[in-house]
Amino acid sequence: MTGLRSTGRTALIFSMGLIPPIAVVAMVLLLAARTLPAFHGIEIGVMMSAVWAPETGAFGVTPLLVGTLFCATVSTILCVLIGVPAAVRLAFFAPAFESKLTILVLTVLSSLPSVLVGLMCLELITQYFGLSVASGVVALFLMTWPSFTILFFARLRQDGSHIVDAASALGIPEHKAVYRLVLLKLRGDLTLATTFTLGKAAGEAMAVSFVIGNVPHTGFLPTLFEGAHTLTTMVLKNHGAASGEHLGMVYVAILILGALIVCINAIGAILASKIMKNR
């Protein structure tokens, strides 16, 4: 009987582990089926053009992709510039009560629904920046910075504490151990956290759609104070009313977005692995 129970538990765990890859394969097949009309009816050159205007038959996804990468990159840079010092302070220099309270607040912020963050930015941030890329960047920052800080804080506390204790035994001051040893050792973990945040920012839709303007930007790169489209905001705006080739191009945009996020995280994993091997 004990053997049967053990076998049953093993089979259950194995079957549960199959669900994620099966779901991913199913989504890829669905997207592939939905994008076929677009590939049959629209030339690749039209897809890669710099104009997205479905009403005139222009389905260029390049400006959408550029807008996505621009907004996600700027917000991720802000996350790193603000999140790393915050995580270091909370992990090593802040009083225990302050650290616990701040992490609790960040946890709450990271779990806020994107529609709430979008409405908050619409009411507050757009008063200063208008419906623009800058407002979209702020929305992305609010959606990603708490989780980035919590993630890097956890790595600092898990691995950094041992390094600081060992350095202290050798007479090295805590602040020197943190900045010269801990951060150097955790470069790979920082790379993973950064690329994870970049991928999450690229895939965010609802909060950004409230404040970015949802209009084509001028030039190759959007400026911070003009409206723009991203892949995700275009999908939200166009999916309900699209049909035929237009709907097919919406699914092409979803496919491109998925491939982009996979590539970002794969590159991050490869870079982090190389950094960890060389440290």
Q: Which residues contact 132 (CB under 8 A, 6 or more apart)?
A: 126, 211, 212, 213, 224, 225, 226, 227, 228
pLDDT tens string, the chain, 279 residues long: the values are: 555 566 767 777 777 877 878 887 887 777 777 776 666 666 666 667 777 777 777 777 888 888 899 999 999 999 999 999 999 899 888 888 999 999 999 999 999 899 999 999 999 999 999 899 999 999 999 999 999 999 999 888 887 777 777 777 777 777 777 777 777 788 888 999 999 999 999 988 888 989 988 777 666 778 888 888 888 888 888 777 777 777 778 888 888 888 889 899 999 989 888 887 776
The CATH number of 44-278, from 3.40.640.10, 1.10.3720.10, 3.30.70.270, 3.40.980.10, is 1.10.3720.10
pTM for this predicted structure: 0.84
- The DSSP code for 219 is S
- Backbone φ/ψ region at 179: left (φ over 0), alpha (ψ -120 to 50), beta: alpha
Bridge partners (DSSP) of residue 53 are 58
